[in-house]
């Protein structure tokens, strides 16, 4: 198969191609030295008085080895929300270009575009929550700079069909961003091993879900070296702080523990799904390849408020397209899940009385 060559002159905003990026003191000097009088830092050692590595190379080395992706194909950001925002600003000219999203899906793609003043075209998923491949390809044009796909998809929980994604990557005229935030909860479905076959593909992953590190804010974008170079060109110079970098360097030694916790959550997900199926007030329990389940009920607002009154917060997604009566429920600990099920049983009794 011939690799499609990306036309960066067409795809990337002209002002970004022309941009002279900020050159930070720590980015400019390469080599070793013992006296650093170049960055207006405080010389007294607090452990944190020096700026961190702008390109986070030590951390990228370790991620590269574990994820089997070369360092130049890795971008690290303040959550995956940072690369989402940067990608929109890199490729989309406000007032001219647009992004395509496939609702119901993760909300930040639209927010990033709205902030940048970039139009958003919505092409809903099919009723089975799969991609309307033909519609997407028919509606795309040279101003469709980015298509955001999310697999497993938030809030529906399902994986998108692999063949559909491949067909779209081949035929879409712009960049396809595949958000794999929940990939650890699905089986061997990541596109990462195939990254080098698709020059217009950007894959997003995050430490916020399976790794249990939402608070430290670390997201990853994987793509061709050319795209990663452009992201590095427009990011703020020291976008990751040293606390996050050092902490993750240590956490990466706990891969087994991460995988064990994923296994537990997948077991809990199966248990929750079985219990949900026994409640007659739940009309639909959707398949999940993630760490949450989308259920559809008659009275989503009523059940949501009832659970709030019990101190249990779930996500009311009933206003999203195709999600009528939808509540998105994150898989918790056994104790948390049992609390939820007990409250749901109470709700079921109340409903059967009324």
Ligand X SMILES: Cc1ncc(COP(=O)(O)O)c(C=O)c1O
For 35, counting Cβ atoms within 10 Å of its Cβ (0-12 exposed, 13-18 middle, 19+ buried), the class is: exposed
Residue 184 binds to ligand X (criterion: CB under 6 A): no
Residue closer to ligand X, measured from CB, 219 or 326: 219
Question: Using CB under 6 A, which of 81, 97, 184, 289 touches ligand X?
Answer: 81
Rounded to a whole number of angstroms, the minimum distance from the CB of residue 239 to ligand X is 13
The three-state secondary structure class of 169 is: helix
- Per-position x/- string for 287-326, each x denoting binding to ligand X as judged by CB under 6 A, each - no binding: ----------------------------------------
Three-class SS of 71-87: HHHEEEECCCHHHHHHH
Q: How many CB atoms lie within 10 A of CB 333?
A: 11
Which of the residues 212 through 241 are near ligand X (CB under 6 A)?
214, 219
Whichever of 11 and 203 has its CB closer to ligand X, that residue is 203
Minimum separation from the CB atom of position 80 to ligand X (A): 4
Is residue 38 within 8 Å of residue 25, measured between CB atoms? yes
Between 128 and 157, how does the x/- string for binding to ligand X read (CB under 6 A)? Answer: ----------------------x---x---
- Sequence-ordered strand ranges (E) for the chain: 74-77, 98-101, 119-122, 144-150, 175-179, 201-206, 219-222, 282-285, 292-297, 315-316, 326-330
Residue 289 or 347 having the CB closest to ligand X: 289
What is the total count of residues that contact ligand X (CB under 6 A)? 12
> Which residues are 149's β-sheet partners?
178
For 51, residues 6+ apart whose C-beta sits below 8 A from its C-beta are 24, 25, 26, 39, 41, 238
Q: Residue 222 has what DSSP assignment?
A: E
Residue of 102, 144, 183, 206 that binds ligand X (CB under 6 A): 206
Nearer to ligand X, 154 or 286 (CB): 154
Q: Which is nearer to ligand X, 26 or 102 (CB)?
A: 102
- Is 171 a binding residue for ligand X by CB under 6 A? The answer is no
Residue 183 within binding range of ligand X, rule CB under 6 A = no
Q: Taking the mean position of all CA atoms in its chain, how far away is CA 57?
A: 22
Query: Applying CB under 6 A, does 52 fall inside the site for ligand X?
Result: no
102 binds ligand X (CB under 6 A): no
Q: Does 248 interact with ligand X (rule: CB under 6 A)?
A: no
Q: Which of 13, 51, 73, 79 binds ligand X (CB under 6 A)?
A: 79
Closest distance to ligand X from the beta carbon of 81 (Å): 4
Dihedral over alpha carbons 156, 291, 88, 241 (to 10 degrees): 170
Report CA dihedral (235, 236, 237, 240) to the nearest 10 degrees. Answer: -90
Note the residues at the interface with ligand X (CB under 6 A): 79-81, 106, 150, 154, 179, 181, 206, 208, 214, 219
């Amino acid at each position: 198969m011939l690799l499609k060559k990306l036309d960066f002159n067409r795809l990337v905003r002209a002002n970004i191609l022309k941009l002279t990026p900020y050159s930070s003191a720590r980015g400019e000097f390469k080599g070793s030295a013992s006296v650093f009088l170049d960055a207006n830092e405080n010389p007294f050692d607090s452990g944190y008085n020096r700026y961190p590595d702008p390109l986070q190379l030590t951390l990228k080395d370790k991620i590269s080895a574990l994820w089997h992706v070369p360092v130049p194909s890795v971008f690290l950001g303040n959550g995956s929300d940072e690369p989402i925002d940067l990608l929109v600003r890199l490729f989309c000219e406000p007032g001219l270009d647009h992004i395509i999203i496939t609702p119901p899906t993760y909300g930040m793609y639209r927010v990033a575009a709205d902030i940048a003043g970039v139009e958003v075209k919505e092409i809903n998923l099919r009723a089975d929550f799969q991609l309307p491949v033909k519609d997407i390809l028919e509606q795309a044009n040279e101003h469709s700079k980015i298509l955001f796909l999310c697999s497993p998809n938030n809030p529906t929980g399902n994986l998108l069909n692999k063949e559909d994604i491949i067909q779209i990557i081949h035929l879409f005229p712009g960049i396809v961003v595949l958000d794999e935030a929940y990939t650890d909860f699905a089986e061997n479905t990541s596109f990462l091993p195939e990254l080098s076959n698709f020059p217009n593909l950007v894959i997003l992953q995050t430490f916020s879900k399976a790794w249990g590190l939402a608070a430290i804010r670390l997201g990853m974008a994987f793509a061709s070296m050319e795209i990663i170079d452009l992201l590095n060109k427009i990011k703020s110079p020291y976008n990751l702080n040293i606390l996050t970098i050092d902490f993750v360097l240590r956490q990466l030694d706990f891969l087994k523990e991460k995988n064990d916790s994923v296994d537990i959550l997948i077991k809990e997900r199966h248990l929750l799904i079985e219990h949900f199926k026994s409640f007659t007030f739940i009309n639909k329990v959707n398949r999940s390849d993630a760490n949450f389940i989308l259920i559809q009920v008659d009275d989503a607002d009523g059940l949501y408020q009832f659970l709030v009154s019990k101190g249990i917060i779930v996500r009311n997604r009933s206003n999203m397209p195709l999600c009528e009566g939808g509540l998105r429920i994150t898989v918790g600990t056994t104790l948390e899940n049992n609390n939820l099920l007990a409250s749901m049983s109470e709700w079921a009794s109340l409903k059967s009385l009324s």
